[in-house]
């Protein structure tokens, strides 16, 4: 939250998240290199440098697969949201693992070339007209280039500098990068590996990414269709007895926006569910002294006006509410960001007070 750029702060959750990731990487490499060499054996004997290259390459592929599974899992089940909040750290660590893989490859396969070893990666094999000998390295180079760009721009400085919409579109490059990795690994397996253990892992990982994205898209489509069927001019949110003081009920509107309706000190207020900083879920934050705190990076907003407390300048849209008996209704037409709306008193608030 800022009148100027302020970096995202570290907290215990981030430290634990990174420690678990690092332990997972070490465990994967240990299993690949030492604990299960027979299961991952290759037809031809390989030297330690090639074995290390394959271990880090496999690890990078698995990490990238997990990263792309986190998004749809969080959309299908909110219990996975904590994994989503710190996913940028996951991406940066994946980039370092992929760079290590590329370093082993360049320093071994192309170190004996008569030309520059980095140039040799691109020009040693130009058999683009055949599948079996296709230069699959080019896909890996593209994927690594994208990962480096995404890791370098993952910091909040770039989010602020580029603006959230541009930053988000830039980071959609992760999808063509993953497709390039799939092509890179597929052609690599086709050309050089007879043992099918990693082939099974590869197919299962890529299949999981595709299946989870499809399931999440279908789930949201069903929810949107159900919402449109039920909604009239004013949208039914819930009953007052279902609300807890200090917390929100989140409602998906027909236009795809989500509104967070809060009960605080026996009064109802509603603001957009999307934080102005990085579209974090404001409806998952708790209200204290009329201010809700975004669970992602700590930005705060007054739930009656959608404004950050001075001297900060962020604003989010607000919504008008009304009661129909015990039912809470919201006007789906948002007010301009920062518009004050008088809170509605609940006649008999009980829960959480």
* Residue range 154-206, pLDDT digits in tens: 887 887 788 777 888 898 999 999 999 988 888 877 666 566 667 777 788 88
Answer yes or no: is 100 within a domain: yes
Structure letter (DSSP) for residue 242: G
**What are the backbone dihedrals phi and psi of residue 238, each rounded to the nearest 5 degrees, phi first?**
-175, -175
Residue in 334, 332, 65 with CA at minimum distance from that of residue 204: 65
Residue 26: inside a domain, yes or no? yes
pLDDT computed for residue 193 by the predictor: 58
Instruction: List the beta strands (DSSP E) in the chain.
Output: 235-239, 247-252, 258-264, 267-272, 287-288, 291-293, 300-302, 321-324, 327-330, 344-345
Residue 88: the pLDDT is: 85
Asked whether residue 182 is assigned to any structural domain, the reply reads yes
pLDDT of residue 77: 85
Are both 221 and 286 inside the same structural domain? no
Average pLDDT of 101-109? 86
Is the pLDDT assigned to residue 302 strictly greater than 90?
yes
Q: How many CB atoms lie within 10 A of CB 22?
A: 11
Residue 119, in any domain of the structure: yes
When mean pLDDT is compared across 217-221, 225-229, 341-345, the lowest value belongs to 225-229
- Based on the fold, state whether residues 62 and 156 are members of the same structural domain: yes
Do 100 and 240 share a domain, yes or no?
no
Domain boundary among 199, 225, 251: 225
pLDDT in the model for residue 39: 58
Q: Backbone phi, then psi, for 262, in 5-degree steps?
A: -105, 145
Statement to judge: residues 174 and 301 lie in one domain:
no
Left, alpha or beta for 306 (phi > 0: left; psi -120 to 50: alpha)? left
Cβ–Cβ under 8 Å, residues 330 and 319: yes
SS3 track for 64-85: HHHHHHHHHHHHHCHHHHHHHH
CB of 63 closer than 8 Å to CB of 93? yes
* Predicted pLDDT of residue 8: 54
Q: Which two tokens stand for residue 352?
A: 């959480």
| Cis preceding-peptide flag for 311 (omega within 30 of 0) | yes
Query: Which of 225, 252, 287 is at the close of a domain?
Result: 225
Q: Is the pLDDT of residue 34 over 60?
A: yes
**Is 94 within a domain?**
yes
Q: Are residues 243 and 154 in the same domain?
A: no
- The closest alpha carbon to 108, from 35, 178, 56, belongs to 56
Is 6 part of a structural domain of the chain?
no
Instruction: Give the C-alpha separation, 78 to 70, whole Å.
Output: 11
Q: What is the CATH number of the domain that holds 259?
A: 2.102.10.10
For residue 206, is it within any domain? yes
Query: How high is the pLDDT of residue 83?
Result: 81
User: Do 193 and 64 fall into the same domain?
Assistant: yes
Domain coverage including residue 249 = 235-345
Q: Are residues 56 and 149 in the same domain?
A: yes
Closest of 334, 345, 349 to residue 269, by C-alpha: 345
Q: What is the pLDDT confidence band of residue 89, given thresholds at 50, 70 and 90?
A: confident
pLDDT digits (tens, 9 = 90+) for 52-79: 888 898 899 999 999 999 988 988 887 8
Mean pLDDT of the chain: 83
Quote the CA–CA distance of 253 and 181 in Å, as a whole number: 37
Are residue 71 and residue 169 in the same domain, yes or no? yes
Q: Are residues 179 and 304 in the same domain?
A: no
199 is a domain residue: yes
Looking at the structure, do residues 200 and 249 belong to the same domain, yes or no? Answer: no
Q: How many domains does the chain have?
A: 2
Nearest to 142 by CA among 186, 183, 203: 183
Q: Say yes or no: 67 and 184 in one domain.
A: yes
* pLDDT for res 276: 87
* Whether 242 and 219 share a structural domain: no
């Amino acid at each position: 939250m800022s009148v100027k750029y302020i970096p995202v702060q570290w907290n215990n959750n981030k430290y634990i998240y990174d420690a678990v990731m690092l332990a997972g990487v070490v465990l994967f490499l240990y299993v690949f290199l030492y604990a299960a060499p027979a299961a991952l054996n290759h037809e031809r004997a390989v030297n330690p440098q090639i074995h290390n290259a394959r271990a880090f390459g496999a690890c990078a592929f698995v990490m990238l697969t997990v990263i792309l599974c986190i998004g749809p899992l969080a959309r299908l089940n909110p219990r996975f949201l904590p994994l989503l909040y710190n996913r940028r750290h996951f991406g940066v660590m994946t980039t370092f693992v992929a760079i290590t893989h590329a370093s082993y490859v360049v320093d071994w396969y192309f170190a004996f070339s008569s030309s520059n070893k980095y140039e040799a990666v691109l020009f040693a094999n130009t058999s683009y007209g055949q599948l079996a000998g296709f230069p699959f390295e080019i896909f890996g180079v593209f994927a690594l280039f994208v990962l480096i760009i995404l890791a370098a721009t993952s910091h909040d400085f770039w989010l602020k500098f580029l603006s959230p919409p541009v930053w988000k579109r830039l980071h959609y490059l992760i999808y063509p990068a993953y497709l390039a990795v799939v092509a890179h690994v597929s052609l690599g397996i086709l050309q050089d590996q007879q043992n099918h253990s990693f082939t099974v892992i590869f197919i299962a990982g890529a299949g999981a990414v595709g299946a989870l994205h499809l399931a999440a898209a279908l789930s949201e489509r069903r929810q949107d269709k159900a919402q449109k069927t039920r909604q009239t001019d004013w949208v039914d949110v819930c009953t007052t007895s279902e609300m807890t003081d200090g917390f929100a009920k989140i409602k998906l509107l027909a236009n795809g926006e989500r509104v967070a309706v809060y009960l605080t000190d026996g009064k109802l207020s509603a603001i957009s569910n999307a934080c102005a900083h990085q579209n974090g879920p404001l409806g998952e934050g708790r209200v204290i002294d009329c201010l809700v705190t975004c669970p992602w990076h700590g930005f705060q907003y007054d739930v009656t006006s959608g404004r950050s407390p001075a001297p900060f300048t962020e604003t989010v849209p607000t919504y008008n509410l009304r009661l129909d008996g015990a039912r809470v209704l919201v006007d789906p037409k948002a007010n301009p960001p920062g518009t004050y709306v008088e809170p509605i008193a609940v006649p008999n608030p009980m829960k959480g007070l």
